[in-house]
């Protein structure tokens, strides 16, 4: 099996008009600010055939790219690699794309490690949403679940509970200071 790895470039508009709004002039200066790695695993022979014939990538590009007065993001490269190939850099949290009942779902898991500055009670969090054109998250489909460590046990928590755990963490920290 193989997977598709897509890399994007994200850019922000650093040009402003006299009223302080982002410039829409053709010579507006967009500064590169990083990008995103997208991964589609377990490509079928049909997927590979559609990629080879150029019918697949325009669909995916439409889901991960956008261009407006403030920012833009666009595909700079894509490659088909073996499923066990290392993807991206160690500090990245790639977005995995899957097709579910005819809809494209994006899922990203961010681990609290040496590259993140999260409260220690948070071990990781997973974001998920249905993708729409122009890199939009379909309204009402975004979820964020946390894996937290409380009293030596790991479990899944929703955002309101995580906020309480963070408050408790800092309250204990103030008590010991």
Q: Are 6 and 75 in contact (CB under 8 A)?
A: yes
Count of alpha carbons within 13 angstroms of residue 116, beta-carbon side: 16
What pLDDT shows up at residue 7? 96
Q: What size, in residues, is the chain?
A: 177
How many Cβ atoms sit within 10 Å of the Cβ of residue 131? 21
Low-confidence ranges of the chain (pLDDT < 70): none
State pTM to two decimals. 0.87
Which pLDDT value is given to residue 154?
Answer: 92
CA–CA distance from 83 to each of 4, 44, 113, 165, 177 (Å)? 9, 12, 24, 37, 48
pLDDT of residue 20: 82
Instruction: Report which of 110, 89, 87 is spatially closest to residue 41, judged by C-alpha positions.
Output: 87
Q: What is the structure's pLDDT at 144?
A: 94
pLDDT tens column, 35-55 = 999 999 999 899 899 998 988
Gap between the Cα atoms of 148 and 45, Å rounded: 39
Beta-bridge partners for 147: 124, 156
Instruction: Using the Cα atoms of residue 112, residue 115, residue 116 and residue 117 in order, give the sign of their dihedral.
Output: positive
């Amino acid at each position: 099996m193989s997977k598709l790895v897509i890399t994007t470039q994200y850019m922000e508009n650093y040009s402003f008009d006299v009223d302080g709004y982002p410039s829409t002039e053709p010579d507006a200066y967009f500064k590169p600010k990083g990008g995103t790695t997208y991964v589609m695993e377990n490509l079928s022979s049909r997927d590979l055939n559609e990629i080879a014939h150029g019918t697949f990538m325009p669909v995916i590009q439409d889901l991960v790219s956008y261009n407006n007065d403030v920012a833009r993001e666009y595909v700079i490269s894509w490659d088909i690699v073996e499923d066990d190939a290392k993807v991206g850099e160690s500090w990245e949290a790639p977005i995995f794309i899957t097709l579910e009942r005819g809809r494209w779902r994006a899922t990203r898991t961010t681990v609290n490690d040496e590259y993140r500055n999260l409260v220690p009670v948070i071990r990781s969090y997973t974001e998920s949403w249905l993708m729409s054109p122009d890199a939009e998250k379909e309204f009402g489909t975004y979820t964020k679940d946390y894996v937290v460590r409380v009293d030596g046990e790991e479990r899944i928590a929703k955002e309101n509970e995580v906020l309480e755990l963070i408050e408790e963490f800092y309250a204990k920290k103030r008590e010991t200071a």
